[in-house]
Homo-oligomer: A and B are copies of this chain.
Amino acid sequence: MLSNNSENYDLKRDLKNIWHPCTQMKEHESEPPLLIEKGDGIYLIDRNGKRYIDVISSWWVNLFGHNHPHLNKAIKNQLDQMAHVMFAGITHAPAINLAETLVELTPPNLTKVFFSDNGSTSVEIALKMSLQYWQQSGEKQRTKFIYLSGGYHGETLGALSVCGINLFREKFNGVLMQNLEVQGPDCYRCPYDLKPDSCQAECFEHLEKTLNENRGTVAGVIVEPLVQGAAGMKIYSPVYLKKLQEACEDSQTHTIYDEVAVGFGRTGSLFVCDSHGLKPTFLCLSKGITSGYLPLAATLTSDLIYQTFYGEHASMKLFVHSHSYSANPLACACANETLSLLTKNNFLENLKPKIKFIGETGSLFNEYKWCGEFRQKGMIAAIELVRDKLSKDTFHLKDRVGHKIYLEGLKRGVLMRPLGDVIYFIPPLIITNEEIKVMMDAALESIEAVLS
């Protein structure tokens, strides 16, 4: 029974008034949420002073740890000038600087930045810009998007209509825009029995077929490049993206890169598109853009798209879309400091030994019978747990293996949040090798406590 201390009092008030996201609230009857009070580097600190490694960077957003002095200072300085101002008819230095830096750091075809508040809206904006482009370019029949099975792009109804994971969309299928799902890459269970390091993305044939069959009606193709996050950090070959680019150029179809999760250094480079010489028509960014401090998003696109909306007032070609807090100056100031930290002092270069260490430490998991696969792309790593290593059979949903491991992790001071039975690591980029070791050891102990 809950005693009457301040922590329990606050937890009671939480359960009385709050509906948490993506949460079966009944579970909090027996497993109350953690009451976190402070952050410090890679650690979250609860009301009782217990520290937890933020293994998943608070939903993949935090890059430089909690309570970073430079980020705190950037926000405080901006706060003393102005917290916010509307972004139509008005501009401000934090947004001007941020847009310029984003254009500099992304592929050369991306020249314009449209700001919004979160990953979902950055995707909605890309979808709407693509649709309106075709409306204004004499190809009004281009109204469908192709998306991959396993793809996740946010949960507003437009973003959900390009979601390839049934869990998120099944209750809403009846009202969603009818788009085209194609079988995406599945390297761990490759139907072609190939290896992602040496394959030629043979699985691209599904997308190619759908694109050919719907040539005149497809507005664009949306992908999470290299890593399908919500699907369980499923990693696939850049060859797939090269083929996608060729096929879309060939059919003059837009490519929408959702780098909300993989952008800003997670894969070891700033952006997947840029590091692989790829040129998406739209690039969606959010999450790490403020190093996990404040909501902010950006949709980047090309001059070709922009010019199709550019004209006299009477043409009514403008893009009618706004959010009140577009380009919030506090968030932009924080984003500018984030990009400064990411690009100075060889920060990305210095990730390489950590990435190597994660690979070395993580590949030791392969020895265990429950480890179907350890996989890694830069600072993102995952262990897919299986019931049978040979057949790759999964555990039963009702066994809730991932959830039990999550609870074991909490006891050991690591905050994981498995995706089904995929235990994954996407820690703040500032994590040290020592801390990686502690995190991996605690994960191993937690898995063993449940599975051995």
Contact = CB atoms under 8 A, between A and B. Distances in A.
A143 B88 CA distance: 35
A84 interface: yes
Contacts of A319: 19, 21-22
B321 A22 contact: yes
A128 B157 contact: yes
Given A61-B86, A294-B325, A314-B397, 13 more contacts: A19-B301, A20-B88, A34-B90, A58-B85, A62-B84, A67-B80, A67-B81, A88-B417, A119-B323, A120-B121, A131-B175, A136-B171, A292-B324
A319 B21 CA distance: 7
Interface string A279-321: 0000000110000111100000100001001111110011111
17 contacts: A13-B100, A21-B321, A22-B88, A24-B310, A24-B311, A26-B310, A36-B91, A37-B82, A67-B81, A117-B117, A121-B121, A121-B156, A131-B175, A156-B158, A168-B320, A286-B324, A294-B331
Interface in A27-55: 27, 33-39, 44, 54
A174 interface: yes
A17 B156 contact: no
A429 interface: no
Interface stretch (A70-78, A201-209, A236-244): A70-78
A13 B82 contact: no
Nearest to A76: B76
A326 interface: yes
A295 B293 contact: no
A16 B104 CA distance: 12
Contacts of A154: 323
A188 interface: no
A365 interface: no
B321 A155 contact: yes
B13 A96 contact: yes
A22 B125 CA distance: 12
Tell which of A99, A113, A301 has the most Cβ of chain B within 10 Å. A99
Contacts of A171: 128, 131-132, 135-136, 320
A36 B96 contact: no
B80 A18 contact: no
A61 B325 contact: yes
A111 B99 CA distance: 41
| Copies of this chain per assembly | 2
Interface of A is mostly: mixed
A441 to B, nearest CB: 22
Contacts of A156: 120-121, 124, 156-159
A112 interface: yes
Nearest to A145: B175
A127 interface: yes
A313 B24 contact: yes
A395 interface: no
A171 B24 CA distance: 38
A374 interface: no
A400 interface: yes
A79 B83 contact: no
Contacts of A38: 81-82
Tell which of A82, A88, A103 has the most Cβ of chain B within 10 Å. A82
A296 B21 CA distance: 14
Given A34-B90, A67-B82, A84-B293, A17 B155 contact: no
Nearest to A287: B324
A87 interface: yes
Contacts of A159: 156
Contacts of A131: 171-172, 175
A202 B397 CA distance: 55
Given A83-B71, A135-B171, A172-B131, A295 B117 contact: yes
A127 B311 CA distance: 35
A155 B157 CA distance: 11
A58 B301 CA distance: 26
A398 interface: yes
Contacts of A33: 89-91
A118 interface: yes
B90 A36 contact: yes
A119 B322 CA distance: 11
